[in-house]
């Protein structure tokens, strides 16, 4: 949809973890889902490929990184998870009625667009990051740290000087969670997968980004060609679709990555309604070690609609025009 509804796109979940006392090992539910994956044979397309087609959503309450309060605890028990979900939904909801009429209406409006899901990932892992085992993005290299800090400082000091002071999402150039790699974002977490005999298309609803990926084993484009979404190549490893992406633009940065980013994404349909999506980030000049996250993609009956981001981008005009008007008033 071409609605740019959220006032604060950077307002991602900041959960406080409040847990019961008991601490149990890997749960029965997690074990059961593994068994499903082993016994279930995915359907095939007319070409005989494992069938990943359809519309999928990656909405989840599980955070990318394990919160500090849960250091050392990889999984929640069923009871812990239920308590957590209940508290979290209450806490993150902006549909609270305690801010006065104007604030409440604003919050409630934003809440309408939110698409954060109502549950944790099925195995109740406490972070989407599965490796390193601490569930955290590895530290940046000193060089990357410097680069990221410089960008932050620029955006802080020049926030309304021109478009460059705003995020790429606000400028409708690249959406941080549409990827690659794909992560749950504030809203419209739908992705449509479509397969022909020699290509696979991964269409993310956010800012209508489609990757049309060759399956024929051809090499990547030359190093002089750099792209916001990178250059993707796919192949099958058994029933798993493996997508390798390189040639990222130096302007693109995924949590501190640089132009050397090499991304591997793995799509495995583990049940009629779930694709296990796993991505590994290699970027030795940005991260001190590789890291991996697992994000279940759940089947949805929804369709992917057009998100004409740039065409409806009144926000960027208004932010800059507002800043100029404020300067005149001084």
Partner 1 sequence: MLAPANAQNQAFKPPRTADGKPNLNGIWQAMNTANWDIQGHAAQAGQVVSLGATGAEPPGIGIVEGGEIPYLPAAAQKKKENYANRLKLDPEVKCYLPGVPRATYMPYPFQIVQSGKFILISYEYDGAVRTIYMDNPGPAPVDSWMGWSAGHWEGDTLVVDVTGLNDQTWFDRAGDFHSDALHVVERYTLAAPNVLNYEATIEDPQVFSKPWKISMPLYKHLEKNAQLLEFKCVEFVEELIYGHLRKQPSK
Query: Which residues here bind partner 1, judged by CB under 8 A?
Result: 1-2, 45-48, 53-54, 158, 160-163, 171-174, 192, 194-199, 201, 203, 208-210, 212, 214, 218-219, 221, 225, 227-229, 303-306, 308, 310-311, 316-317, 320-321, 323-324, 327
The smaller minimum CB distance to partner 1, of residues 171 and 235, is found at: 171
The smaller minimum CB distance to partner 1, of residues 242 and 319, is found at: 319
The whole-angstrom distance between residue 130's C-alpha and the CA centroid of its chain comes to 15
Residue 208: CB minimum distance to partner 1, A: 5
Residue 227: CB minimum distance to partner 1, A: 4
State the Cα–Cα distance between residues 30 and 68, nearest whole angstrom.
Answer: 23
Residue 191: CB minimum distance to partner 1, A: 13
The smaller minimum CB distance to partner 1, of residues 29 and 208, is found at: 208
The smaller minimum CB distance to partner 1, of residues 149 and 306, is found at: 306
The smaller minimum CB distance to partner 1, of residues 130 and 300, is found at: 300
14 Cβ contact partners less than 8 Å away, ≥ 6 residues apart = none
Residue whose structure tokens are 């409006």:
109
The smaller minimum CB distance to partner 1, of residues 26 and 320, is found at: 320
Residue 48: CB minimum distance to partner 1, A: 8
Name 210's bridge partners: 203
Residue 310: CB minimum distance to partner 1, A: 5
Buried b (16+ CB within 10 A) or exposed e, 284-317: eebbeeebebbbbbbebeeebeebebeeeeebee
Please answer whether residues 31 and 97 qualify as being in contact, where contact means their C-beta atoms are separated by less than 8 angstroms.
Answer: no
Residue 308: CB minimum distance to partner 1, A: 5
Residue 206: CB minimum distance to partner 1, A: 12
Residue 165: CB minimum distance to partner 1, A: 9
Q: What 3-state class would DSSP assign to 280?
A: strand
State the Cα–Cα distance between residues 188 and 169, nearest whole angstrom.
Answer: 14
| Beta strands, E only, the chain | 54-57, 129-131, 190-195, 199-204, 209-214, 231-237, 240-246, 262-271, 274-282, 291-299
Q: Is the peptide bond before 180 cis (omega within 30 degrees of 0)?
A: yes
The smaller minimum CB distance to partner 1, of residues 143 and 161, is found at: 161
The whole-angstrom distance between residue 70's C-alpha and the CA centroid of its chain comes to 21
- Identify which of 31, 36, 117 has the alpha carbon closest to the alpha carbon of residue 75: 31
Name 131's bridge partners: 292
State the Cα–Cα distance between residues 206 and 200, nearest whole angstrom.
Answer: 18
Q: What 3-state class would DSSP assign to 122?
A: coil
Number of Cα atoms under 13 Å in the Cβ half of residue 111: 15
The smaller minimum CB distance to partner 1, of residues 168 and 282, is found at: 168
């Amino acid at each position: 949809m071409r609605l740019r509804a959220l006032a604060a796109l950077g307002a991602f979940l900041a959960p406080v973890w409040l847990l019961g006392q008991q601490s149990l090992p890997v749960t029965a539910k997690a074990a059961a889902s593994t068994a499903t994956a082993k016994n279930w044979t995915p359907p095939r397309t007319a070409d005989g490929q494992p069938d990943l087609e359809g519309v999928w959503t990656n909405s989840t309450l599980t955070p990318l990184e394990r919160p500090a309060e849960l250091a050392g605890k990889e999984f929640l028990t069923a009871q812990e998870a239920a308590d957590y979900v209940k508290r979290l939904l209450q806490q993150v909801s902006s549909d609270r009625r305690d801010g006065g009429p104007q604030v409440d209406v604003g919050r409630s409006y934003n809440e309408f667009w939110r698409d954060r899901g109502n549950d944790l990932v099925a195995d109740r892992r406490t972070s989407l990051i599965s490796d390193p085992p601490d569930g955290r993005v590895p530290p940046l290299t000193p060089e990357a740290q410097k680069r990221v800090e410089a960008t932050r400082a620029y955006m802080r000091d020049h926030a309304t000087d021109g478009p460059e002071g705003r995020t790429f999402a606000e400028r409708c150039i690249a959406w941080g969670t549409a990827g690659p790699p794909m992560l749950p974002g504030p809203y419209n977490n739908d992705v449509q997968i479509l397969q022909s005999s020699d290509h696979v298309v991964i269409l993310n609803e956010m800012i209508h980004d489609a990757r049309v990926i060759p399956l024929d084993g051809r090499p990547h484009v030359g190093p002089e060609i750099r792209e916001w979404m990178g250059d993707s190549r796919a192949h099958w490893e058994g029933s798993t679709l493996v997508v390798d992406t390189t040639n990222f633009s130096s302007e693109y940065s995924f949590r501190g990555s640089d132009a050397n980013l090499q991304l591997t994404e793995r799509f495995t349909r583990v049940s009629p309604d779930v694709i296990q999506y796993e991505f590994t980030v290699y970027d030795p000049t940005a991260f001190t070690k590789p890291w991996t996250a697992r994000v279940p993609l759940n089947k949805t009956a929804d369709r992917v609609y057009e998100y004409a981001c740039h065409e409806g981008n009144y926000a960027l005009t208004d932010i800059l025009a507002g800043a100029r008007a404020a300067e005149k008033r001084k």
